[in-house]
Amino acid sequence: MATAMSTEGTSSSWLRGETRKKPTAFLLRALLFVCVAFRVAVALIRVLYHAAAGSVLGVARVLFAAANERCLRGMDRAALGRGSFFAGAMANSWRVLMQGLASLMFLCARADEYVRQPPSPLVLTDHDKPAAHPQQVHISTVGRDKMRISWVTDDRSTPSVVEYGKSRGNYTASATGGHATYKYFFYESGAIHHVTIGPLAPGTTYHYRCGKAGDELTLRTPPASLPIELVVTGDLGQTRWTASTLAHIGGADYDMLLLPGDLSYADTQQPLWDSFGRLVQPLASARPWMVTEGNHEAEALPVVGFAPFVAYNARWRMPHEESGSASNLYYSFDAAGGAAHVVMLGSYAEFEEGSEQRAWLERDLAGVDRRRTPWLLVLLHAPWYNTNQAHQGEGEAMRAAMEALLYEARVDVVFSGHVHAYERFTRIYDNEADGRGPMYITIGDGGNREGLALKFLEDHKSAHLSVFQEASFGHGRLRIVDETSAVWTWHRNDDEYATVRDEVWLESLASPKLSMATAGPRDKL
């Protein structure tokens, strides 16, 4: 033992001992040293080349790749049970670095755009129940009479089963689905379960339990005919403002919630997806939530090979296949027994002439019979019309590619988010007032961490088309009364009350009159 310790004490003795005992191991170590030296030399040459060319981005890419390779090696060592302290420290440092870079990227991209009020603290919702206990439960409609139940468990071996029935504790039916996980840097999700149940009766309350281990939950299916009430809120996040919005939404009944993008504001920090799912579960497990993606769902890091929308697509699976869409980023569905058709477009999927999304939209709208479906609604993230200083022109390319399709189909209302304020326009087509065009409503004021977009441009070219503007947090409700009439109200988060600040009556563009009766904004309280 003493001889062995002495041999390890000096490098020359170590080399002699290794050469005599294990020549193959020595050669491998030497080769590894040469390879590492060569890679370092190549990296330095690349850095010097980019520096000489004045390419800061090129230098950053080389350094980033080198750091990422080292970090991945540390992760592999941790997975094999070696070097746990080193690997753990590196993993944590890398996570902090990446979160900082992501935050800096978003900050720099918007530094000169507009000034927001100070951000609100996050409302983080913990999970303190057993690993097999379902969490983050949310539901969505699938076809005419089915619902998809989605949830997460930390235990990846729990069954993807939903038991359900019309009375408490009496489950007369069950359905089985599947689950999957995803990885993002050093984060690995729990098991994300998706189970479709049905056929279900419309307008009916069901009691259900996920995974044979959770609490009993209650949902109500949407009605099979009008009237129907739809809540619309965008750019939700998970702050105290969000909590206020959710409380106001839950304070009055509704049938379905529509969300035009920007859900969790995780922005690469994957645990925030989990916290968001727990925050919205009380509402999202009781009424269907139909969502589409926003820019904060992308989370793409091409240098490291992360494709966009990995977390969003895994967690919030929408019925795109049922509507003939090839992507979870855009789809459509019917509500109220087909009296309303809702199209969820993807602002961050290809939409130009010849794109898959545009071809799908043409087919989808062509299949809508306005005699049977008097109401046609569209949701997307980046607004096509916007007089706020924030995000000017970001929806223009999509508007140029798709606006004519919506106009020809006589879409009644287009909802969007992205701009953190409320704005309602008159009916528009091609930048002019047109009674046969959609009404455009921006409602990106759900409660995100970035604050409100406070400045509207009085001299904007679309200012004469803008009917009502206010930079406040809140949510909206569209109550479709019958085949010809609907009422839209916007509810501002005003202290403890959801104050109604804007109200307008609409007449369906499927109506022969093709007109709209309006009531102006309510007087200030």
Q: Are 179 and 157 in contact (CB under 8 A)?
A: no
Distance in angstroms (rounded) separating the CA atoms of residues 211 and 135: 10
Distance in angstroms (rounded) separating the CA atoms of residues 518 and 194: 42
Q: Which residues contact 44 (CB under 8 A, 6 or more apart)?
A: none
The yes-or-no answer on residue 391 being catalytic is yes
The region that residue 515 occupies, defined by phi over 0 for left and psi between -120 and 50 for alpha, beta otherwise, is beta
Q: What residues pair up with 433 in beta bridges, in sequence order?
A: 428
Distance in angstroms (rounded) separating the CA atoms of residues 37 and 34: 5
Q: Which of 194, 248, 391, 475 is catalytic?
A: 391
Report the run of H or E that residue 517 belongs to, with start and end: none
Q: 3-class DSSP state for residue 99?
A: helix
Q: Are 152 and 268 in contact (CB under 8 A)?
A: no
Q: Are 161 and 195 in contact (CB under 8 A)?
A: yes
**Tokens for 267?**
């922005």
**Tokens for 427?**
């009916």
Distance in angstroms (rounded) separating the CA atoms of residues 419 and 171: 44
Q: Are 401 and 430 in contact (CB under 8 A)?
A: no
Q: What residues pair up with 441 in beta bridges, in sequence order?
A: 415, 424
- Which residues does the annotation mark as catalytic? 391
